């Protein structure tokens, strides 16, 4: 059981113009795996993930593609209520914005469980206690309000809500960005503990986090997936010049080599490879030909003309 995004094309209507933001984006999420979606801000990670939940701005328009889940294309579904929060849940960057400060954690958990699982009070309470136990929150903290929880506990309470609703897919959008380093480690450990029952999409720009925690990685640039591979293969044989640039930009004891220039906005039309204005390995053909995904090994793909 998992989820597959297939050749998703999406753009935004702006003052009578259509600006494309996602180009043939494809990736799949598998139960038992953490799949990291990596790239600089504005590369299309979050909008790809929000397309899965169909939580898109009014100006967004999907022009083609499929999002397959439980044998159905989510883009064709009339109503997402029974999917959103219940089968596919979002773990946001800042948990405080997702918890209601006026209600206790117990109230909020029970509301989710009753709505999505249709259980009565006693059974719902039992599910809530098990969900809190799974995220290492003692049951006696159930009656606390969100402001009485630390940042890490709030994030764990959100994860408990997703688990108690029975979510099969978790979309974790930079889930540790707002937390300090020790708490980050706790949340990632927790995602590992629960991944055997779920498929997890981890959106991040932090390659160190990916190396330590993900099973599979897809790198996005300018609205395209430019490289995808199992995480070990990715770090051993990083193929795309953009992925190599991201790795060289990691702080280390030796040199720090940032990628020159800025990622493209959706208003810029770039012919050929969208990375060519910033690529140190560009060839004459790169500004004319748009690279397709080349297969480098069983599960390793790269959109770069160097592998043509």
Least gap, CB of 282 to ligand SF4 (angstroms)? 4
Q: Which of 233, 276, 300, 301 binds ligand SF4 (CB under 6 A)?
A: 276
> Is residue 304 a contact point for ligand SF4 (CB under 6 A)?
yes
C-alpha 14/C-alpha 151 separation (Å) is 37
> Is residue 291 a contact point for ligand SF4 (CB under 6 A)?
yes
> Is residue 282 a contact point for ligand SF4 (CB under 6 A)?
yes
Q: Where are the alpha helices (DSSP H) in 67-150?
A: 105-117, 121-134
Q: Which of 241, 245, 263, 264 binds ligand SF4 (CB under 6 A)?
A: 241
Nearer to ligand SF4, 126 or 260 (CB): 260
Other C-beta atoms within 10 Å of 188: how many? 19
- Give the list of residues 6+ apart from residue 258 with CB closer than 8 angstroms, or none: 249
Strand locations in the chain, DSSP E?
Answer: 2-14, 17-30, 34-38, 60-69, 72-73, 88-91, 169-173, 199-204, 216-221, 224-230, 294-297, 300-302
Q: Which stretch binds ligand SF4 (CB under 6 A): 56-64, 72-80, 200-208, 270-278?
A: 270-278
Least gap, CB of 23 to ligand SF4 (angstroms)? 14
> Is residue 223 a contact point for ligand SF4 (CB under 6 A)?
no
Question: Of 89, 92, 87, 74, which Cα lies nearest the Cα of 4?
Answer: 74
> Is residue 246 a contact point for ligand SF4 (CB under 6 A)?
no
| CB-based contact 209:231 (threshold 8 Å) | no
Least gap, CB of 5 to ligand SF4 (angstroms)? 22
C-alpha 268/C-alpha 264 separation (Å) is 6
| CB-based contact 200:3 (threshold 8 Å) | no
Nearer to ligand SF4, 287 or 297 (CB): 287
Least gap, CB of 55 to ligand SF4 (angstroms)? 31
Q: Which of 187, 279, 300, 301 binds ligand SF4 (CB under 6 A)?
A: 279
C-alpha 127/C-alpha 117 separation (Å) is 10
C-alpha 96/C-alpha 276 separation (Å) is 40
Least gap, CB of 30 to ligand SF4 (angstroms)? 28
> Is residue 91 a contact point for ligand SF4 (CB under 6 A)?
no
Q: Which of 235, 281, 294, 296 binds ligand SF4 (CB under 6 A)?
A: 281
Q: Which stretch binds ligand SF4 (CB under 6 A): 12-20, 26-34, 123-131, 274-282?
A: 274-282
Nearer to ligand SF4, 183 or 296 (CB): 296
> Is residue 39 a contact point for ligand SF4 (CB under 6 A)?
no
Other C-beta atoms within 10 Å of 82: how many? 11
| CB-based contact 78:59 (threshold 8 Å) | no
Q: Which of 275, 288, 293, 297 binds ligand SF4 (CB under 6 A)?
A: 275
Structure tokens at 79: 């109503």
* Site of interaction with ligand SF4 (CB under 6 A): 241, 273, 275-276, 279, 281-283, 286, 291, 304-306
């Amino acid at each position: 059981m998992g989820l597959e995004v297939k050749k998703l094309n999406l753009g935004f209507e702006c003052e009578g113009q259509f600006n494309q933001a996602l180009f043939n984006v494809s990736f799949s999420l598998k139960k038992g795996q953490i799949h990291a979606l990596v790239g600089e801000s504005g590369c299309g990670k979050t909008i790809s993930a929000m397309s899965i939940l169909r939580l898109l701005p009014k100006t967004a328009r999907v022009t083609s593609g499929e999002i397959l889940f439980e044998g159905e294309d989510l883009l064709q579904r009339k109503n997402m209520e029974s999917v959103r929060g219940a089968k596919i849940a979002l773990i946001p960057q800042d948990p405080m914005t997702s918890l209601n400060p006026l209600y206790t954690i117990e109230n909020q958990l029970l509301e989710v469980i009753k709505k999505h699982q249709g259980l009565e009070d006693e059974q719902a309470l039992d599910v809530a206690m098990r969900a809190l136990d799974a995220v290492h929150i003692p049951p006696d903290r159930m009656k606390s309000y969100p402001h009485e929880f630390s940042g890490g506990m709030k994030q764990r309470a959100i994860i408990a809500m997703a688990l108690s609703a029975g979510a099969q897919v978790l979309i974790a959008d930079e889930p540790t960005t707002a937390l300090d380093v020790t708490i980050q480690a706790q949340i990632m450990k927790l995602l590992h503990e629960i991944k055997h029952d779920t498929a997890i999409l981890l959106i991040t720009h932090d390659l160190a986090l990916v190396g330590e925690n993900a099973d599979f990685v897809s790198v996005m640039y300018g609205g395209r997936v430019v490289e995808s591979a199992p995480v070990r293969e990715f770090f051993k044989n990083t193929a795309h010049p953009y992925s190599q640039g991201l790795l060289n930009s990691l702080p280390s004891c030796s040199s720090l080599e940032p990628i020159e220039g800025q990622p493209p906005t959706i208003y810029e039309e770039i012919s050929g490879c969208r990375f060519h204005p910033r690529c140190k390995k560009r060839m004459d053909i790169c500004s004319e030909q748009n690279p397709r995904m080349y297969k480098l090994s069983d599960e390793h793909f790269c959109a770069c003309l160097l592998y043509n």
